[in-house]
């Protein structure tokens, strides 16, 4: 298992599991489905992972890492200088709802939130989720600072809660585009915080 080939196979399984998680949620991550997607024998999943929980944890870690890397790459690709509120809002929404929510609408957002709720129902994922939340907060802070907005930890959590609340309300109302509902609320909040900052 310590060989280069072994590590490559393990990473192929993690990549397959992460893809299944993003596309179908926790129920999609099963030994057989992961092995088939990776093009490897079924026995390889139990050889490289001691349990389904271990495989799921690896999938969640890879998914979170990929999503954070995507967000960092988006931010780095933008020209230097202060970002306008609309750009900040889109970056924040891509990070919280996933870039696929731009086109996927309801189904993409539902998948993201089902995954987050599913993680909360799996206590073994709690340490990893806390670690990734800290990285998410740091990236959100970097995005907001590029837009000339500085929030403390409480303000940052409040902003995320505002987006989550708008999304959940839209989902309850069967809104076909919950991202649009979240964008409206977020832009109002960003405008208010910019106004407060300019008065200081």
Domains and CATH numbers, the chain: 1-58 (1.10.10.60), 78-199 (no CATH)
Using a pLDDT cut of 70, give the percent of the chain over it.
94
3-state SS, residue 90: helix
As a whole number of angstroms, the distance between CA 177 and CA 5 comes to 44
**In the structure encoding, which two tokens stand for residue 45, read together?**
């999943």
Predicted confidence band of residue 194 (pLDDT cuts 50, 70, 90): low
Using a pLDDT cut of 90, give the percent of the chain over it.
84
DSSP 169: H
As a whole number of angstroms, the distance between CA 96 and CA 129 comes to 14
CA–CA distances in Å: residue 156 to residues 12, 51, 100, 136, 149: 36, 36, 23, 10, 10
Closest CA to 118 of 126, 107, 108: 126
pTM recorded for the entire structure: 0.87
As a whole number of angstroms, the distance between CA 61 and CA 18 comes to 8
Neighbours of 7 (CB within 10 A): 12
Mean pLDDT of the chain: 92
pLDDT tens for 119-168 read 999 999 999 999 999 999 999 999 999 999 999 999 999 999 999 999 99
Say what the pLDDT of residue 119 is. Answer: 94
């Amino acid at each position: 298992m310590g060989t280069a080939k072994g590590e490559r196979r393990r990473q192929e399984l993690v990549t397959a599991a992460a893809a299944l998680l993003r596309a179908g949620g926790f129920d999609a991550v099963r030994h057989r489905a992961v092995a088939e997607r990776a093009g490897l024998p079924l026995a390889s999943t139990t050889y490289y992972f001691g349990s389904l929980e271990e495989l799921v944890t690896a999938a969640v870690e890879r998914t979170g890492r990929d999503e954070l890397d995507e967000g960092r790459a988006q931010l780095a690709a933008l020209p230097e200088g202060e970002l306008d509120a609309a750009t900040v809002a889109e970056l924040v929404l891509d990070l919280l709802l996933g870039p696929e929510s731009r086109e996927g609408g309801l189904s993409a957002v539902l998948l993201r939130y089902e995954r987050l709720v599913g993680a909360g129902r799996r206590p073994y994922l709690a340490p990893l989720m806390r670690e990734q939340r800290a990285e998410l907060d740091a990236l959100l802070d970097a995005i907001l600072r590029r837009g000339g907005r500085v929030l403390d930890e409480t303000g940052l959590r409040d902003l995320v809660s505002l987006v989550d609340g708008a999304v959940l309300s839209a989902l309850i109302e069967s809104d076909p585009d919950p991202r649009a509902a979240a964008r409206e609320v977020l832009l109002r909040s960003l405008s208010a915080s910019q106004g407060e900052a300019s008065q200081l």
